[in-house]
Amino acid sequence: MAASVVNTVWLEILRAQRPITYGELAEALPELPHSRRGPTLNVAYRLGYVERSGSPRSYAYRVTPRCTVPPGITVLEVLEATS
C-alpha cells in the first residue's frame, strides 16, 4: 500500500473534523478506486492513523489526538487541513 494513498485518506478524514463514513470518503475522493479504498482504510486503522466506530460495513473513521500522523505528512498540511 503506497504511503501517499494512506496520507491522502488520513488528510481527508482530518479535514472532515468529524467521523466520516466509507460513502462520504468515496464522495470526497472520487479518484480513489473502490478496490483501494477499503484496504487503505484497513491499513490506516491497523497502523493507528485513524480510529473507527460502529459495526463492520458501516464504520465511521476519525482522527483523534490518540492517532498517529502518517510519515510524510508535514505540519503545514495538518494546519491547512484543520484551518
pLDDT digits (tens, 9 = 90+) for 16-68: 999 999 999 999 999 999 899 999 999 999 999 999 999 988 999 999 888 88
Alpha helices in 1-83 (DSSP H): 3-16, 22-28, 34-46, 75-82
- Residue 70 predicted with pLDDT over 60: yes
The residue behind cell 490506516 is: 44
Alpha-carbon span 52 to 61, nearest angstrom = 4
CA dihedral 14, 17, 22, 27 (to 10 degrees): -90
**Domains of the chain in sequence order:** 3-82 (1.10.10.10)
Q: Give this prediction's pTM.
A: 0.89
Side-chain-side CA neighbours of 7 within 13 Å: the count stands at 11
